[in-house]
Amino acid sequence: MSVDAHAEYTALGIPHRKLGFWTFLGSECMFFGTLIGTYLSYRGKSLVGPYPHETFSVQVTTISTFTLLASSFFMVMALHYVREGKRFAAGAWLLATATGGLIFLGFQSFEFTEFYHKGLSLSKNLYGTTFFVLTGFHGAHVSGGVLWLLSLFVMNAQGKLPKEKEMDVEIAGLYWHFVDIVWIIIFTVVYLVEFAQ
Amino acid sequence: MATATHTLPQAHAAEPTGVWSWITTVDHKRIGILYGVSAFVLFMGGGIEALIMRLQLAQPDGTVVSAQAFNALFTMHGTTMIFMAIMPLGAAFFNYMVPLMIGARDVAFPRLNALSYWVFLFGAIFINSSFLFGTPPDAGWFAYAPLSNRTGTATHSVDFWILGLQILGVASMMAGVNFIVTILNMRAPGMTLMRMPVFVWMVLVVQFLVVLAFPIITVGLVFLMFDRLFGTNFYIPEAGGDPLLYQHLFWLFGHPEVYILILPAMGIVSEVLPTFSRKPLFGAEFVIFSGIAIGFLGFGVWSHHMFTTGLGPVADISFSFTTMLIAVPTAVKIFNWIATVWGGQLRFATPMLFALGFVFMFTIGGLSGFMHAVPAIDLQQQDTYFIVAHFHYVLFGGSILGLFAGIYYWYPKFTGRLMDERLGAFHFWATLIGFNLTFFPMHFLGADGMPRRIYTYHAWEGWSGWNMAATVGAFIIASSQLIFLYNYVTSRVRGKIAGNDPWDAATLEWATSSPPPEWDFDRIPQVTSSRPLFDMKYHGAPKPPPGRDDGIHIPPPSYWPIIVGLGITLIFAGAMLVPTKGPWLSITGFVIFVAGTFGWVFQPGYGYAPEEH
Amino acid sequence: MSEKRAPLFGFAAIFAVLAVLWIWYPFGTPLLFQSTIFPLTDNAERTQSVYAMVYWITLAIFLGVEGLLIFALFRFRARGDETALPKQTHGHTALEVFWTLATVVLVLVMYVPSFQAIRFHQGPPPTPNPLVIDVTGRQWFWEFYYPEQDLTTANEIVVPQGRTVLFHVTASDVIHSFWFPRLGGKRDAVPGRTQPLWFTPTELGNFHGQCTEYCGSSHALMKMEIVVKPQAEFDTWVAQQKAPGDPAAMAGFGVFAASGCIACHMTMQNDKSVLHMNGPNLMKVATRAKIAAGILDNTPANLKLWISNPQHVKPDAKMNVPAMQCTGPGTPDACCRDVQIGNCLPDATVDQLVAYLSMLK
């Protein structure tokens, strides 16, 4: 919520909340970097199976990845319409973004249960440990984002998201795109790399 | 200098009082005081833990406490001093002084600021509550796996430590974001980055370190927690996991952490020495760049904590080099401080004594640190009392003395009165003498082969003499703090009225009243140099016109920070109950957190003008 | 603000005391069991030479820098009669460059011996065919295995004079650290990893070591000893360790087994088949100078003390005979106060065990 109706004075010319959010994203880079680094350092070191290539279905994960990517596009559209003051279109695109996220989460749950039935668990081996914790935290971030987007949707429906509030949506967009980029990295480094050799 | 009046400025009288006003405050000055008082209480607690240990070790085959109790004491002493004393004492100054020093009225996110405090306080209460449950953490302040893992400890002791640190980490990270935005975005007109006080620069570097280093330990501790609660294999050798992964993650955070602990004190010293030398900080740009260099290089030295773990010659060669290199910016700062006092007119008020004590003691700590940077030497010194000596010289002789310099220096600003100089000098000398008596002999104990973290030793080792000396010194340090407390409390009532600028200083915080009004400055000044107040007094720079700026907005108080803070704490605290009692406490915390966040976001209206007098 | 001289003398006095102590230590400190500055091997000598260089250079820096600071405090103290501000020097770029470069040069100078020492210590052992000893740290004792002799022992190592020893250091539960201060730097014993340490002992005698990584309740009481003997005596020792025991001792074995000790300790074998048991190998325990990992002299009285109530000697020691051995509450044996603590063995049984163990040579 903005501190006051007057434009705030900023030495850098970037609004406080945007600057603060970028800083937060910097810490999130370190957070996910550590998780991904750990996955990589333990890759190939599991003493027992199941192993990644036995569990992954790259076709399925490609669909969910594409869905998440598309939802980032939807987010761009939502911001555009908020800036235009077009309430209905903005709401539609916000809902589409959230739906994309929910579909992604749906695929993740499906995948997790599939892997579990193949014998992979948190405690089974290093692969289970690192995979579930890395993708689990990412999924938690997506869930938080979906909650955020749905809140914005409701606010928009109540007429509380005029174009003056566009920065609120822009910041949500920053978060959403970040979460998407992290997934691209995870998808590449965890899934695709298993099929490269 | 000090005015002739005997009462505090009128502006202070209109501020709300009472417990509720403190609980709902979003004023950076009040939050600073909350941090300072809480941190000092915890500092005393950590000190008592140290005294009990020193009593146990004063003589061989001591029977003051059991082995288990001793092991919990050194764990909690270290954890308390680092996370619940030095860091929040620093935060007290960040909160109170940074907006004043940059000519701002508050921080960028006042409610987030309050939230940081409440999460810190609840985290400190949570981790100390482990004493009440009879299971204080006892795996050391860095809790290496596998000792800290499910194989090593059966009770909740380590859970309290892990979750407590996570809670405290959340508090620090939120403050990190807040201060980065504040410092970058809210400087007074004309205050370019290079015109910013050096203390503020050090705070900025520290906040970047916090924001970038804490996530690494967050993940490292998440891994440990999951190993303990959910049977994951991150640090389990039997499953192919590597205990050293924990050490890498811990020290990737841990080394920047020690710079988080020292840079604020270096910043304070960089303010105090010029004021009491009556000349500017020598080489201010170089001191600033050295601080930035230390911040960067600090991320490249972590495995010097692991020279004994067998990383191989390439790792040892590299980390030895980077560690020795970090001595360069550190030395540059020391030379610049000496050059600051050189040619000055030195006044030895208590803040100056402590700042000089910092330079004196920190140099020794830096030299012993340099010894550790050589792996051949470190293989003898690691895990002995030599290391204990080193880090106490930099953390107590450095950070604590620097923080005391800050307390004595800025006490007039936040209370409006001066502390007693004779009691201050007495506190200083007793602390300095007690400190050296306690910790200098520890270099010898380490070189004599005494390992650290041992609850007892035998008479035939030959360590008894120095141990007794160290115990005597510890009690001198402790007694001396009572003098400080007495001075602090009585000066609030009986101290001489300070006026705006009792020390004839150069920076903006001294350009407003002592204590400042709720809105900090009647007029935000236009800044044309790094010594704006000095220019106004001595170079004829224009003073701000009388009266008050229009449209001053004071963020209204809010109870959402303490509510959200409670939610966050319960989410983490509840995690340790998950295997036995399920997630009900964490879920309750989550609900409170989400509800509180919505309440926060939709809190009606922000901003009202201060009343006219 | 007063300009008393007393504060300055305080700084000068503390400076002088610390400088004197710093200089005194290498010359005046007594030789102690675990001193790090009285090296006895090639490994430790190398460390000592690097340390000596760094020690005296850092002392010189201390004297120079702190001396300059204290001089400045005296020279530039305000006298109270100043009318103008002192010269408002902001800095001096050439000076900054000079002292930065000087520090870099000093760092590089000190780095070279550090670099060389790393390669020395972590390079191959200086003599071929070292004596290999596998070290396994365990809460709270040390297990040693000699592959060449197929010999398992605990807490005390015997080595021949003049032959390089190459240790392979690991742990089985938590991280410990293997350290004989007079013989070489320490190496952490990390479960799942093994790392090497070598040194060539040239002096005869008994030397002490201690675990130096916090490893739980009795970390302080996890010591060990190394005995350096002439080659011939070492060979005799090996033969004695491998020789079958005194047949007269067999009578006591029954009590040993019946008391449950055999679940963790072996007394009849010390080859590789008995490695990594829960407790130290005891086959020739009577030949050892100390028991309970270097903290009690090996006497019948101490053996009795140790066996009757291990947790009293070493907090949370894992030597805990099941409660079924306890003759019940209200017995006169003090150790049965709490069936969770102590070996609940009748006094007479403990005496028999002590007698048995004392015959294991």
Q: What is the 3-state secondary structure (H, E, C) of chain C?
A: CCCCCHHHHHHHHHHHHHHHHHHHHHHHCCCCCCCCCCCCEHHHHHHHHHHHHHHHHHHHHHHHHHHHHHHHHHHCECCCCCCCCCCCCCCCHHHHHHHHHHHHHHHHHHHHHHHHHHHHHHCCCCCCCCEEEEEEEECCEEEEEECCCCEEEECEEEEECCCCEEEEEEECCCCEEECCCCCCCCEEECECCCEEEEECECCCEEEEEECCCCCCCCHHHCEEEEEEECHHHHHHHHHHHHCCCCHHHHHHHHHHHHCCHHHCCCCCCCCHHHCCCCCCCCCCHHHCCEECCCCEECCHHHHHHHHHCHHHHCCCCCCCCCHHHCCCCCCCCHHHHCCCCCCCCCHHHHHHHHHHHHCCC
Q: Does C216 touch chain B (CB under 8 A)?
A: yes
- In a domain, residue A9? The reply is no
Residue A67 structural domain: 34-39+53-196
Lowest mean pLDDT among A185-194, B2-11, B219-228: B2-11
Average pLDDT over chain B, rounded to an integer? 94
* Interval A169-182 mean pLDDT: 97
Quote the pLDDT of residue C1: 41
Question: Per residue in C67-105, pLDDT tens?
Answer: 999 999 999 999 888 889 999 999 999 999 999 999 999
Under 8 Å between Cβ of C14 and B363: no
Q: Answer yes or no: do A11 and B185 touch at CB < 8 A.
A: yes
CATH code of the domain in which A189 resides: 1.20.120.80
Query: Looking at chain B, which residue has its C-alpha nearest residue C123?
Result: B313
Under 8 Å between Cβ of C25 and C52: no
- In a domain, residue A147? The reply is yes
Question: Per residue in C225-237, pLDDT tens?
Answer: 999 999 999 999 9
Quote the pLDDT of residue C342: 52
Residue type, position B355, single letter: A
Under 8 Å between Cβ of B79 and B161: yes
Quote the pLDDT of residue C139: 93
Distance, in angstroms, between C217 CA and closest chain B CA?
Answer: 6
Under 8 Å between Cβ of B386 and B367: no
Under 8 Å between Cβ of B272 and B346: no
Q: Does B526 touch chain A (CB under 8 A)?
A: no
High-pLDDT (> 70) share of chain B, %: 96
Cα distance between residue C295 and residue B22, in whole Å: 56
Question: Per residue in B438-469, pLDDT tens?
Answer: 999 999 999 999 999 999 999 999 999 999 99
Q: Answer yes or no: do A42 and B240 touch at CB < 8 A.
A: yes
Quote the pLDDT of residue C5: 61
> pLDDT band at A197, cuts 50/70/90?
low
Nearest to B380 among C15, C185, C215 (CB): C185
Question: Per residue in C10-65, pLDDT tens?
Answer: 999 999 999 999 999 999 999 999 999 999 999 999 999 999 999 999 999 999 99
> pLDDT band at B182, cuts 50/70/90?
very high
Quote the pLDDT of residue B13: 47
Query: Looking at chain B, which residue has its C-alpha nearest residue C77?
Result: B346
Q: In this model, does residue B607 exceed pLDDT 70? A: no
Distances (CA, A) of C214 to B201, B366, C72, C178: 38, 25, 44, 12
Q: In this model, does residue B380 exceed pLDDT 90? A: yes
C residues 141-200 lying closer than 8 A (beta carbon) to B: 169, 173-175, 177, 179, 181, 184-188, 190-193, 195-196
- In a domain, residue A162? The reply is yes
Question: Per residue in C300-351, pLDDT tens?
Answer: 999 988 888 888 889 888 887 554 344 444 444 444 444 444 566 777 888 8
Quote the pLDDT of residue B465: 97
- In a domain, residue A4? The reply is no
Q: Coil, strand or helix: which one is B594? A: helix
Q: Answer yes or no: do C122 and B312 touch at CB < 8 A.
A: yes
Q: In this model, does residue C2 exceed pLDDT 50? A: no
Q: In this model, does residue B7 exceed pLDDT 80? A: no
- In a domain, residue A143? The reply is yes
Quote the pLDDT of residue C341: 47
Structure tokens at B313: 């010659």
- In a domain, residue A151? The reply is yes
Q: In a mutagenesis test of the B interface, which of A17, A32, A48, A123 is the best target, namely the one with the most B β-carbons within 10 Å?
A: A123
Nearest to C186 among B382, B429, B446 (CB): B382
> pLDDT band at C250, cuts 50/70/90?
confident
> pLDDT band at B163, cuts 50/70/90?
very high
Query: Into how many domains does chain A fold?
Result: 1
Quote the pLDDT of residue A1: 36
Cα distance between residue A147 and residue B591, in whole Å: 13
Q: Answer yes or no: do B449 and C34 touch at CB < 8 A.
A: yes
Quote the pLDDT of residue C339: 43
Nearest to A31 among B185, B218, B603 (CB): B218
Distances (CA, A) of B315 to B320, B495, C108, C221: 8, 56, 18, 32
Q: Answer yes or no: do B211 and A20 touch at CB < 8 A.
A: no
C159 Cβ neighbours under 8 A, 6+ residues apart: C131, C133, C165, C201, C226, C227, C228, C229, C234
Chain C hits for B324, Cβ within 8 Å:
107, 110-111, 114
> How many Cβ pairs closer than 8 A exist between chain A and B?
117
What global pTM score does this model have? 0.94
Question: Per residue in C99-140, pLDDT tens?
Answer: 999 999 999 999 999 999 999 999 999 888 999 999 999 999
> pLDDT band at C260, cuts 50/70/90?
confident
C-alpha angle B509/B510/B514, rounded to 5°? 95
Question: Per residue in B558-575, pLDDT tens?
Answer: 999 999 999 999 999 999
Quote the pLDDT of residue C6: 62
Nearest to A133 among B178, B181, B226 (CB): B226
Q: In this model, does residue B54 exceed pLDDT 70? A: yes
Q: Answer yes or no: do B277 and C87 touch at CB < 8 A.
A: no
Quote the pLDDT of residue C86: 93
Q: In this model, does residue A9 exceed pLDDT 80? A: yes
Q: Answer yes or no: do B240 and A2 touch at CB < 8 A.
A: no
Q: Answer yes or no: do B232 and A133 touch at CB < 8 A.
A: yes
High-pLDDT (> 70) share of chain A, %: 96
Quote the pLDDT of residue C358: 93
Lowest mean pLDDT among A83-97, B246-260, C219-233, C263-277: C263-277
Q: In a mutagenesis test of the A interface, which of B98, B233, B560 is the best target, namely the one with the most A β-carbons within 10 Å?
A: B233
> pLDDT band at A6, cuts 50/70/90?
very low
- In a domain, residue A2? The reply is no
- In a domain, residue A74? The reply is yes
* Interval A134-143 mean pLDDT: 98
* Interval C199-210 mean pLDDT: 96
